[in-house]
């Protein structure tokens, strides 16, 4: 490990501090393997200090009027826009994403901050007058206290921004534990949040992995936990967090299918499938990894293969690069073994990205676009989330068969249908057991006034990310029933439930 590499700081009680950690994890540029920073595995005392500081800050932050909390978010979204390119550059360097894609990652997060700036209207409760004679009932929503978020590597701007702006706008304080693979982007996001005028202690950042997460999962002062990452970790977080009586939302992996009807526009289908399958090197939880060709649309498979074969990955600052490297050599190795497994199990590999070379970057974690046809549900490449630039084609004869295939899959994050037939689209949207459906749109990620609503094994919990569901996740409802009699009448104690 380079001795001069930059040590990433923790953010505790309003200060960026160097950790007392004995263990550091290298952060590398995935196109070169150069160590660009080292991230500490925070000590137990440091995580506990963050929790204590967040708990203390909650006492004053919950009293800050909601329009003032909104103004912090207004200043924050302006700062994020002002620094958009600079954040994207940091993000591109540590994730390998192309510059334009890195800007998209930041932008999707900015949109959530814009939504958080609308918090006054979102915090409104309900009222009913005269629920009994002279009695009114009304409800308020109030923040929970200390909330925490654990985020994955693949969207180091967007996913932290799904969480802390909404939680904090609701009046909570927040502890972020970003991915150890790309902590520099979240660090910059936090610096700008401080500049936006967030009071000391409202947001804290601790770094590390399982050990640090376990402290957050078990500490009684952490009231709610948001997680995004892989399926086994999501299950663990959900089980452990709820066992410790916390509110938990855990977003997990995916296997997203796109159904191609023969009446769809061929060129639209091909363009959309290429971008949605190998864009961001397939490292998106909403990537299309299975294309289901219905009837005659299978005739487009050779043309799709030709288009995919033309796609070239490259370094983040190469304007011609379609996507970047995988996040780590381990991730690359895993994807390559799955591709080999696909070949062994009898899928036909029409485009093989295993020997991908990018000139000038011999050490990058490159995997070229890979396309399998004749894939069946029994194959490992169909069953596992590959999280690489790999598309699997499955062929069926009818829309009903396509729906049955998608519904039999244990994941339910996103899906899409390409068709010119409104009735087919309507049937698909109604019958499909997936939480986010695109009609002639490959990756239907909802904007922040809706919520991100994965289903089945793609999500454990009930209230989803951002939008109105996030407000409910990060708040508690208090219902008040009030009587203000004009004069007191003494009828003695009331011993029964009164009928109206
Ligand atoms: P990951 O599960 O390896 O890590 C996610 C976070 O959990 C990191 O902060 C990591 O430090 C922490 N972590 C890892 N192991 C842990 C353990 N044993 N106990 C506690 N915490 C632990 O995920 P990743 O590789 O960073 O991200 C990719 C995965 O995230 C993919 O499966 C992808 O589909 C999923 N993802 C899902 C969504 C969604 O909205 N459903 C969005 C983005 C990514």
| Residue-by-residue DSSP string for 268-303 | HHHHHHHHHHHGGGG--TT-EEEEEEEGGGGGGHHH
Report how far residue 168's alpha carbon sits from residue 57's, in angstroms, rounded to the nearest whole number: 11
Q: CB 289: neighbour CB atoms within 10 A?
A: 25
Structure tokens at 398: 């009818």
Helix, strand counts (H, E) of the chain: 16, 23
Residues with CB under 6 A from ligand 1: 150-155, 177, 179-180, 209-210, 213, 228-230, 233, 236, 251-254, 285, 385, 387, 413, 452, 454, 458
pLDDT in tens, 356-378: 999 999 999 999 999 999 999 99
Q: 1: pLDDT confidence band, cut at 50, 70 and 90? A: very low
Helix/strand/coil (H/E/C) assignment for every residue in 17-81: ECCCCCCEEEEECCCCCCEEEEEECCCHHHHHHHHHHHHHHHHHHCCCCHHHHHHHHHHHHHHHH
Mean pLDDT computed over 158-184:
98
pLDDT at 2: 44
CA of 478 to the centre of ligand 1 (A): 34
Place of tokens 């020997």: 355
Pocket test for ligand 1, best of 233, 248, 412 (most atoms within 8 A of CB): 233
Q: Kindly list the structural domains of the chain, giving each domain's residue range(s) and its CATH number in brackets, ordered by start.
A: 6-253+454-481 (3.40.605.10), 256-410+414-439 (3.40.309.10)
pLDDT at 494: 85
Report how far residue 369's alpha carbon sits from residue 45's, in angstroms, rounded to the nearest whole number: 45
Q: 497: pLDDT confidence band, cut at 50, 70 and 90? A: confident
CA of 103 to the centre of ligand 1 (A): 22
Catalytic residue from among 147, 285, 356, 392? 285
pLDDT at 423: 98
**ipTM of this model?**
0.99
406 touches 260 (CB < 8 A): no
Question: Is 147 part of the annotated catalytic residue set?
Answer: no
Mean pLDDT computed over 162-174:
98
pLDDT in tens, 185-235: 999 999 999 999 999 999 999 999 999 999 999 999 999 999 999 999 999
pLDDT in tens, 424-472: 999 999 999 999 999 999 999 999 999 999 999 999 999 999 999 999 9
Q: Give, using CA atoms, the residue closest to atom 42 of ligand 1.
A: 285
Cα torsion through 309, 315, 317, 318, rounded to 10? -40
CA of 228 to the centre of ligand 1 (A): 6
Cα three-residue angle 150-459-290, rounded to 5 degrees: 110
Q: What are phi and psi of 216, to 5 degrees?
A: -65, -40
Report how far residue 439's alpha carbon sits from residue 441's, in angstroms, rounded to the nearest whole number: 5
DSSP state of 154: S
């Amino acid at each position: 490990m380079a001795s001069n590499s930059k040590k990433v700081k923790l953010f505790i009680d309003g200060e960026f501090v160097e950790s007392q950690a004995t263990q550091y994890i290298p952060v590398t540029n995935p196109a070169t393997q150069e160590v660009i920073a080292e991230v500490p595995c925070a000590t137990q005392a440091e995580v506990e200090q963050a929790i204590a500081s967040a708990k203390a800050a909650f006492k004053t932050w919950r009293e800050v009027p909601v329009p003032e909390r909104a103004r912090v978010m207004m200043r924050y979204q302006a700062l994020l826009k002002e620094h958009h390119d600079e954040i994207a550059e940091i993000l591109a360097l540590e994730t390998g994403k192309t510059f334009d894609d890195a800007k998209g990652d930041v932008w999707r997060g900015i949109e959530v901050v814009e939504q958080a700036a609308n918090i006054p209207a979102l915090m409104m409760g309900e009222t009913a007058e005269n629920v009994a004679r002279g009695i009114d009932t009304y409800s308020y929503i109030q923040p929970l206290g200390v909330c925490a978020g654990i985020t994955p590597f693949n969207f180091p701007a967007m996913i932290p921004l799904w969480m802390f702006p909404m939680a904090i706008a609701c009046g909570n304080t927040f502890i972020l534990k970003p991915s150890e693979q790309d902590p520099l982007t979240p660090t910059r996001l936090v610096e700008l949040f401080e500049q936006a005028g967030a009071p000391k202690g409202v947001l804290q950042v601790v770094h590390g992995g399982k050990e640090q997460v376990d402290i957050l999962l078990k500490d009684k002062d952490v009231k709610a936990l948001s997680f995004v990452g892989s399926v086994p970790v999501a299950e663990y977080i959900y089980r452990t967090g709820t066992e410790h009586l916390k509110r938990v939302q855990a977003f997990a992996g995916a296997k997203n299918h796109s159904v191609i009807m023969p009446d769809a526009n061929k060129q639209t289908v091909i363009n959309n499938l290429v971008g949605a399958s190998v864009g961001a090197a397939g490292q998106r939880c909403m990537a299309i990894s299975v294309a289901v060709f219905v009837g005659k649309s299978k005739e487009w498979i050779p043309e799709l293969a030709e288009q995919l074969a033309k796609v070239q990955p490259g370094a983040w600052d190469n304007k011609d690069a379609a996507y970047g490297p995988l996040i780590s050599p381990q991730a690359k190795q895993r994807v390559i073994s799955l591709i080999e497994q696909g070949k062994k199990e009898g899928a036909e590999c029409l485009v093989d990205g295993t020997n991908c070379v990018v000139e000038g970057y011999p050490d990058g974690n490159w995997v070229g676009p890979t396309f399998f046809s004749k894939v069946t549900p029994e194959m490992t490449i169909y069953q596992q989330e590959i999280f690489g630039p790999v598309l699997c084609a499955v062929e069926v004869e009818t829309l009903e068969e396509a729906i049955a295939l998608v519904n039999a899959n244990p994941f339910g994050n996103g899906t899409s249908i390409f068709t010119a037939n409104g009735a087919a689209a309507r049937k698909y949207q109604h019958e499909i057991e997936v939480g986010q459906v695109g009609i002639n749109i490959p990756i239907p990620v909802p904007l922040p006034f809706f919520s991100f609503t994965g289903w089945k094994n793609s999500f454990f919990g009930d209230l989803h990310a951002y939008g109105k569901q996030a407000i409910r996740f990060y708040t508690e409802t208090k219902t008040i029933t009030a009587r203000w009699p004009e004069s007191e009448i003494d009828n003695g104690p009331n011993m029964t439930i009164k009928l109206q």
